[in-house]
Amino acid sequence: MASAIDPFLQLLERKAPRPLTIQDMARMLEVEHYDRKAIRALLEAQVASHKLRRIGKTRYQWVRPIDQVPARKTSPRRITKRSGRQVEGRYSRVRQGYGFVEVLGCAADEFPRDVLIPEGKEGRALHGDRVLIDIVRHDRRTHRVVGQVIDVVRAVHERIIGTLELTRRGWHLVPANDLLPVIDLIGERVPARSDEGRVALVQMTRPGTPSQAPAGVLEEILGDEDDPQVQFLSVALEHGLSVEFDADTVAEAARLPEDPETSDLRGRTDLRGLPFVTIDGETARDFDDAVCLERGRAGGFHLHVAIADVSHYVRPGSALDREASRRGTSVYFPDRAIPMLPEELSNRLCSLNPERDRLVLVAELELDRGGRQREARFYRGVIRSRARLTYTKVAALLSDAETPEILAWRAELGDLVDQLRAMHGLMRLLYRKRVQAGSLDLDLPEALVDLSEEGRSIGVRLFSRNDAHRIIEELMLAANCAVATYLRDQEIPFPYRIHEPPDPTDVDELNAFLRAFGFFVDYRARVEPGDVQELLTQLQGHRLSRVLSRLVLRSLTQAQYSTHNVGHFGLAFPIYCHFTSPIRRYPDLLVHRQLGRLFDGEVDRARGAAGAMEELSVQSSQSERQAMEAERAMLDLKKAEFMLTHLLEPQAGTIVSVTKFGLFVELDAYPIEGLLRRDALPGDRYFFVEGEHALKGARSRRRFRLGDRVVVEATNVSLRRREIDFALLERIGDR
């Protein structure tokens, strides 16, 4: 068996210092069948002999002679290595005082685990800042890389929002984000005593150090924490989001015309005679995509997907481009959006509004009667959308219902209804083909917040997508795959949308949890999308289906952007990119630019952009995560706000998570979770049993487990922390 590991060792040596998982190595070696446990044992033996090092739980790295440190026989204490290596990354602080840096850029592959920044070694960095760090040592015992911040490359907290507090030492701002330090207020403007407890905005003027608190000047007193505008600013600024465009960007956008000019249409294919339509949500104002479907040859389909040509107006190096690349994505809250581009572009000139001439990039696809692509063409065009349709309206039009309102819609749209029915038929073909290939069905209901006219939360409910959503999803997936394949075949670098397979070790840990409920991911040497989809199918109909499905999806890696293609695991696509939303996603704009360079014959220029593309891909992935965190924070805040009006109301619910500090319960009536703190559970002292995922009573031996039914009441709600505390009223049955 020793010879079986030789190829793996040789690969690690060639790829040094890049750490690899067993799955990575098998893929690179094109090994289909291997004994993963045996290989892991052999690799661990190499780790013990200091030929390899293990990074985290699953990655192995070749130890080069220059990196080797002889073991000290006189002491069992850890061995460290000083490197002096400097890398950039994003600093994240934890409540205990220390922090971590996620390494960004080309060095990210060398640091699969975040770099530990001990307390006091963060310099003047604040949570979320992009920093330059010095790698000071490698801890062999914990396999942790330790560093210290030597400079802040980009501070994300120029302005901080928080609550005003008056102490004997003067006025302070307690940031809404408790990962930020308390700010001393300096300057001439001083709050009135009646302002204590109100939310304010402070402009940072002095960075903090380990020995001195940061300071700033009072910019504005915003109001109370339950004011929707205050909530919006709190979440946006906490996550480093810009709520306003800089002066250069505003000025550049103001110079743009209301509609395309005659000169803009030259050299474009005129598609204004085709019946394009847009289908979006009721509140949407930025329409990236329009679709048109005609019957093709031999029962096939002739599909046009027209995408707003943002690249025509947002040129590289312009103020608009700098701002768009910095933002990376639009951010969507229940009551408003923070757009990537100013409204002059996002809602008007680039938005495919009905009955207006609009510049587009077109993916024209010929599909056979089974939904398989036969031909694809890509070009610049101009269209005029016939109708702005909504998901709700299209779903009603496609239904069997014949209410007076629906009959009037059908009469108003005429032949467009037949086109929608054809799209519906094509959607079913494409969806079936994708699922048969192993694509995951991730269509879980999402929480939707209902707001009053003032923007306050008055309801929280589950929202499920309908067939109209699926029509647009499948047509956009087809266009994205076609564009990615075309650019790949032309050997043009661009941001792939990649989703790496889960590591088998992570799936084994998931299986250990799921087996208590009679489920597991059945896989062989490596995990395939179909293995996970089979489990998701089995979970359908189970009383804990939504909870367990969420746990399965959380065990998967997060999709990201990269110029290095590894496929998209969740979609089971070997190649994929984002092309269809350049108004709200910067990587889509990059794809458009590469297409444009091909159209203009600038092949060398397109191929020379590889380095910049990779850097922007990493940056866009980070912006996406930042936006997702902000959107989740606002949703949690609105859920907490809703529960303020339902304090002390008995509610039935299900335990959906068990932790060392308590139980998270999701209510039956609303998709809202709250915490039952372990120390507040009555009648006994409970401790956490990790193997059982339960809290167990020390005297009674009673257990609280995932899936148990309880009746609770909300006893405390914090809008600042976005947390809900429950008290236990009773258990519903006993298992």
Q: How confident is the model at residue 225 (pLDDT cuts 50, 70, 90)?
A: confident
Q: Is the pLDDT of residue 80 over 50?
A: no
What number is the average pLDDT over the span 400-421? 96
Q: Tokens 């709250």, residue?
A: 674
Task: Give the C-alpha distances (Å, rounded to integers) separating 279 from 194, 276, 631.
Answer: 50, 10, 23
Which of 127-136, 194-203, 663-672 has the highest average model confidence (pLDDT)? 663-672
- Confidence category of residue 308, pLDDT binned at 50, 70, 90: very high
- C-alpha pair distances (Å), 209 with each of 119, 124, 335, 521, 524: 11, 5, 38, 49, 52
Cβ burial of 25 (10 Å; 0-12, 13-18, 19+) is buried
- For residue 109, how many other CB atoms are within 10 A of its CB? 14
Residues 6+ apart with CB under 8 A from 143: 53, 54, 55, 56, 113
Q: Is residue 18 very low, low, confident or very high in pLDDT (cuts 50, 70, 90)?
A: low
Name the token pair of 325: 């690349």
Q: Are 498 and 560 in contact (CB under 8 A)?
A: yes
131's tokens: 């920093």
pLDDT tens, position by position, 661-674:
999 999 999 999 99
User: What was the pLDDT predicted at 677?
Assistant: 94
Dihedral angle sign, alpha carbons of residues 195, 196, 201, 202:
positive
Query: In the structure, what pLDDT confidence band is assigned to residue 346 with cuts at 50, 70 and 90?
Result: very high
Region 156-160: what's the mean pLDDT?
86
> Per-residue pLDDT for 298 more than 70?
yes
DSSP-derived pairing of the beta strands 673-677 and 723-731: parallel
pTM score: 0.82
Query: Under a CB-based contact definition with an 8 Å cutoff, are residues 106 and 617 in contact?
Result: no
The residue type of 206 is: R
484-502 mean pLDDT: 96
Q: How confident is the model at residue 57 (pLDDT cuts 50, 70, 90)?
A: low
Alpha carbons 605 and 710: distance in angstroms, whole number: 63
Q: Measured between alpha carbons, how far is 398 from 77 in angstroms, rounded to an integer?
A: 70
pLDDT at 584 (0 to 100): 97
- Structure tokens that stand for 226 in this block: 């339950």
DSSP string, 413-437: HTHHHHHHHHHHHHHHHHHHHHHHT
DSSP three-state, residue 126: coil
Residue 475 pLDDT greater than 60, yes or no: yes
The CA-atom distances, in angstroms, between 287 and each of 10, 360, 438, 471 are 51, 12, 31, 16
- pLDDT-derived band at 74, boundaries 50, 70, 90: very low
pLDDT in tens, 575-633: 999 999 999 999 999 999 999 999 999 999 999 999 999 999 989 998 999 999 999 99
The average pLDDT across 233-249 equals 91
Q: Which domains does the chain have, with CATH numbers?
A: 2-67 (1.10.10), 86-154 (2.40.50.140), 159-224 (2.40.50), 247-494+578-629 (no CATH), 647-731 (2.40.50.140)
Dist CA 20 CA 28 (whole Å): 10
CB atoms within 10 A of CB 489: 9
Q: In this structure, how many other beta carbons lie within 10 angstroms of the beta carbon of residue 69?
A: 12
